[in-house]
Structure 1
Amino acid sequence: MTSKRERVSRTEQKTRTRTAIVAACRELITSGSPVTMPEVAGKARISEATAYRHFSEIVTLINAALVGLWPSPAEALAPVADSPDPLARLEFATEFLLRRVTAYQGSVRAVIAATVTNPPEVRQRPGFRFGLIDQALDPVVPATTPAAAERLSQLKQDLSAIVSAEALFSLTDLSGLDTDTAIASLQRTARTITETALPDILAAQRD
């Protein structure tokens, strides 16, 4: 019969193992290295099977490891918090996101790959871009009428396809651009989309 002390010991061991797995994954993320379950298990000095017992999906593990590595949208955009210019705020948000994507690209690529091959996992993706886009636009773009809110929502949807890891990797991997050039290209595209949409949003706000 299992004693209370043995049960506590097993619980503590599980906690230590889980903590080690998350720490190993976080180390891989911050190094920009590829993040796979075998790599995580090796760094945590456990078997791959043990890693999978604690985290059945790599996306779940990466989400746990990302806690504390990304600032909140308000913290990220603090340098432009006082700016009333939505274009300047969006440009800053775009660069912030894509620089962090570049730094953590091993984990970002792992999440993209996992959600492509297993679509139900898509909803577990961190989705940092959406909070940054909201923080860039909401404080300075009025949308108090239903029509303006609808147009602002559409703009955000359009921007989410541009202010994204997928767009960045498309330019660097497929078009062969260096990171700086790719980010500048996406900033210009985001600016153009926003400049086109803003007058319509403001007009809807007045209606």
Structure 2
Amino acid sequence: MPPTSKRERVSRAEQKARTRTAIVEACRELITSGRMVTMPEVAGRAGVSEATAYRHFSEIVELITTALVDLWPTPAEALAPVAGSTDPLARLEFATDFLLRRVTAYQGAVRAVIAATVTSPPRVRDRPGFRFGLIDQALDPVVAADTPAAAQRLTQLKQDLAAVVSADALFSLTDLCGLDTEAAIASLQRTVRTIARTALSEPGNGHPGEAIADSITSNSGR
């Protein structure tokens, strides 16, 4: 066979790139529809075979993670409406609402990722970690961590919140407890507020003086 020309190699590379783009775009369409995302469904929408889709993305988690890049704002963009607030509880409440409403809108993709990683525990760390960025953005600008002890307490608070500001927690309330979406989000917001208020009200919480305690007290009736 004659050697492949440079032009042919470029053409193949371009076709491969176009196919990959088509697969990602098809996945984004499915994600925003809220429907369950599967590789056969994505391949069909992209006009390629399932085998071709798998050649570009080895499994569904990789594909969904790639497709979400342009669908999810940065933490700073997401929390822009509360950027001027110095109240960590209000900021966390907003972050919780933002995450869980986006999870609800994209729940087909979220459930697909959870299902794929539950059956393969080593892949859990491949799940998109949007909650962590939102929690960081809610707390870091307003909660001081200027001593080792304060930094450790802040880290512990973030870990505690990660169990609540999550799709898993939302689906537990909607699927197992039978709550509707609004009630489930409100429940998790209350839990987030309770966890954060308790942690930030403790002595030596990393804030200068009693400013944070005063902030928490003044907002506790919300």
Structure 2 length-normalised TM = 0.90
1:119 Cα deviation after fit? 1.9
Aligned residue pairs, count: 207
Match of 1:103 in 2: 105
Q: Which runs of 5+ in 2 are unaligned?
A: 210-222
Q: What is the distance in 2 between the residues matched to 1:124 and 1:86? A: 29
Q: What is the distance in 1 between the residues matched to 2:148 and 2:155? A: 10
CA gap 1:133/1:9 in 2 versus in 1, 3 angstroms: same
Match of 1:73 in 2: 75
CA gap 1:85/1:202 in 2 versus in 1, 3 angstroms: farther
> Are residues 1:54 and 2:56 paired?
yes
Contact 1:90 1:133 in 2 (8 A): yes
Q: What is the distance in 2 between the residues matched to 1:132 and 1:205? A: 20
Match of 1:19 in 2: 21
Contact 1:145 1:205 in 2 (8 A): no
1:205 Cα deviation after fit? 5.3
* Secondary structure of 1:150 counterpart: helix
1:200 Cα deviation after fit? 2.3
Contact 2:144 2:206 in 1 (8 A): no
Contact 1:151 1:201 in 2 (8 A): no
Q: What is the distance in 2 between the residues matched to 1:32 and 1:71? A: 18
Which of 1, 10, 16 is matched with 1:8 structurally?
10
- Specify which structure has the higher proportion of helix: 1
**Rg: which structure is higher?**
2
* Secondary structure of 1:94 counterpart: helix
The share of aligned pairs that are identical, in percent, is 79
Which of 36, 39, 46 is matched with 1:37 structurally?
39
Contact 1:168 1:186 in 2 (8 A): yes
* Secondary structure of 1:173 counterpart: helix
* Secondary structure of 2:114 counterpart: helix
CA gap 1:161/1:120 in 2 versus in 1, 3 angstroms: same
1:206 Cα deviation after fit? 6.4
Contact 2:153 2:205 in 1 (8 A): no
Structure 1 length-normalised TM = 0.96
Match of 1:200 in 2: 202
**Cα RMSD between the aligned structures?**
1.4
Q: What is the distance in 2 between the residues matched to 1:105 and 1:79? A: 24
Q: What is the distance in 1 between the residues matched to 2:41 and 2:204? A: 50
Which of 118, 130, 133 is matched with 1:131 structurally?
133
